[in-house]
Amino acid sequence: MAAGPEGKLQLVQRHVRAFPDFPKKGILFRDICPILKSPAALTAVTDLFEEHVRSHQLQVDLIVACAGLDARGFLFGPLLAQRLGVGFVLVRKKGKLPGATVSVAYDLEYGSAEVEIQEDAVAPGQKVLIIDDLLATGERQQSGTELQQKVEQADIQGCMVVIELRDLKGADRLKPHNIFSLLQY
């Protein structure tokens, strides 16, 4: 395992593949599947997220993973929550959670979606950190922040992602929330 943060970051970067014209022409898809296949790379992602939270002394009660048409953010959230000793909450595609839910619709870089959270998932004032695999246009993460603030009145500590596609300016959409991304393209 790479010892320092720079070595860990290089390990993560080596495990991201680029696929041009997927899922449609003109999109360069950044694939994180090799990270998940490599125990060392997955540990490095979790380590880097944990180091960021601890070095910035973020107070966190819950990790919230946002997912629209896919659930890749779910793959990192529980690992980080376990490391930090905090809970984990799902934001899912509409119709996938039981019980009373609240939903928000949003646009994607190549489609649209609606996500929801269980009404009682986050208590008012709880400190949450939103985690996802990718920040592109920011629509998915913005829907998560809207759900947290509007319905649960949570205190959002920031958003963390493995990959940020800077040209799509997703971080601008999420202001004033702090964004931490491991890799930027």
Q: What is the CATH number of the domain that holds 120?
A: 3.40.50.2020
Is the pLDDT at 129 greater than 90? The verdict is: yes
Whether 164 is catalytic is no
The more confidently predicted of residues 145 and 79 is 79
Q: How many domains does the chain have?
A: 1
Q: Check pLDDT > 50 for residue 66.
A: yes
pLDDT for res 135: 86
Question: Could you tell me the pLDDT band of residue 84, with boundaries at 50, 70 and 90?
Answer: very high
The question of whether 146 is a catalytic residue gets the answer no
pLDDT of residue 128 exceeding 90 = yes
User: Who wins on pLDDT, 137 or 149?
Assistant: 137
Token duo for residue 28: 């360069």
Mean pLDDT of the chain: 87
**Is residue 4 in some structural domain?**
no
CB-based contact 88:60 (threshold 8 Å): no
24 in any annotated domain = no
d(CA 50, CA 180): 12
Q: What is the pLDDT of residue 104?
A: 82
Instruction: Specify if 136 maps to a domain.
Output: yes
- Per-residue pLDDT, averaged over 151-170, amounts to 87
Residue 83 is assigned to a structural domain of this protein: yes
Give 108's pLDDT tier (boundaries 50, 70, 90): low
> Does the predicted TM-score (pTM) go above 0.85?
yes
Q: Is residue 21 part of a domain?
A: no
Q: Compare 7 and 173 and report the one with higher pLDDT.
A: 7
* φ, ψ dihedrals at 54, nearest 5°: -70, -40
Is 130 inside a domain boundary?
Answer: yes
Give a yes or no: residue 34 inside a domain: no
Per the residue annotation, which of 30, 50, 54, 109 is the catalytic one? 109
What's residue 65's pLDDT?
Answer: 86
Range of the domain at 157: 58-184
Q: How confident is the model at residue 110 (pLDDT cuts 50, 70, 90)?
A: low
The closest of 66, 92, 87, 19 to 161, measured between CA atoms, is 66
With a cut of 80, say whether residue 81 has pLDDT above it. Answer: yes
Cβ atoms of 147 and 117 within 8 Å: the answer is yes
pLDDT the model gives residue 69: 43
> Are 121 and 89 in contact, with CB atoms under 8 Å apart?
yes
Residue of 72, 83, 146, 173 with catalytic role: 72
Angstrom distance (rounded) from CA 140 to CA 111: 11
**Dist. CA 56–CA 129, nearest whole Å:** 13
- 78 found inside a domain: yes
Contact 160, 84 (CB under 8 A): no
